[in-house]
Amino acid sequence: MMKLSEIMKEKKVSSKQLEEMTGISVRTIEGYRSGRREPNLKNGLIIAKALGLDPYELYDDIE
């Protein structure tokens, strides 16, 4: 399960801001936040870099 929504809340980053930082559409980001979609490797890495995270931090089921 992806933790993107809670990380974005902690960092006070909106979906629109993340879109501007990554080039990934708001619609796609909202799909990731809601759990309807999972990012592919490329988008996961782009999001992690934009938020200053290790990519593993985006997921709560990977240790």
Name the DSSP class of 57: G
φ/ψ of residue 17, rounded to 5: -65, -40
Mean pLDDT of 31-52: 94
Pick the CATH number of 4-58 from 3.20.20.70, 1.10.260.40, 3.40.50.2000, 1.20.1060.10: 1.10.260.40
Task: Please give the pLDDT value at position 1.
Answer: 47
Task: Please give the pLDDT value at position 60.
Answer: 73
- The token pair at 14 is 């909106």
Q: Which of 51, 54, 60 is nearest to 11 (CA)?
A: 51
Q: What is the distance between the alpha carbons of residues 16 and 30, in angstroms, rounded to a whole number?
A: 10
pTM of the model: 0.89
